[in-house]
Amino acid sequence: MRDHYRVVEAASGTFGDIWSRAFGENGTVYIKIDDDVVFLDEMAIPRIVQTKIRRPDALLVSANVVNNPALGWLHYHIGAVRPYLPDISQNHGSELSTIENGKW
């Protein structure tokens, strides 16, 4: 599988040198993956590449990231994610009340 891709190391410790080279190599697709990604479907990278090939006019292709401000706005407005609103009208017992259990 490694024949189909290569890892580009950031020599200066920043992404600036990678981005400066990215626009000089025609036909090359760069995929940036953050260091805090906890799950990546095995078909994610092939789908990203296929999408970019099908849509060469697109500046970038992004994952559907949860807990991201820009995509959070989109998720909310298309109804994909709803706010968590707990039901506070029911009495769920008093096992933590200070009356029965004393003061914490």
* pLDDT one-digit tens code per residue, 9-26: 667 767 677 677 666 667
* pLDDT confidence band for 97 (50 / 70 / 90): low
Among 19, 37, 41, 36, residue whose Cα is nearest residue 28? 19
pLDDT over 60 (residue 39): yes
Give pLDDT, residue 51: 93
CA 77, 81, 82, 83 torsion-angle sign: negative
Q: Indicate the pTM of the whole model.
A: 0.48
Residues 22-38 have pLDDT tens digits of 666 677 777 888 888 88
Q: How many CB atoms lie within 10 A of CB 5?
A: 11
Q: How many CB atoms lie within 10 A of CB 72?
A: 14
Q: Are 48 and 61 spatial neighbours (Cβ–Cβ below 8 Å)? A: yes
- Tokens 């981005």 -> residue: 19
Domain ranges across the chain: 2-82
Top pLDDT among 24 and 79 is at 79
Which residue, among 41, 21, 94, 61, has the nearest Cα to 6 in the 3D structure? 21
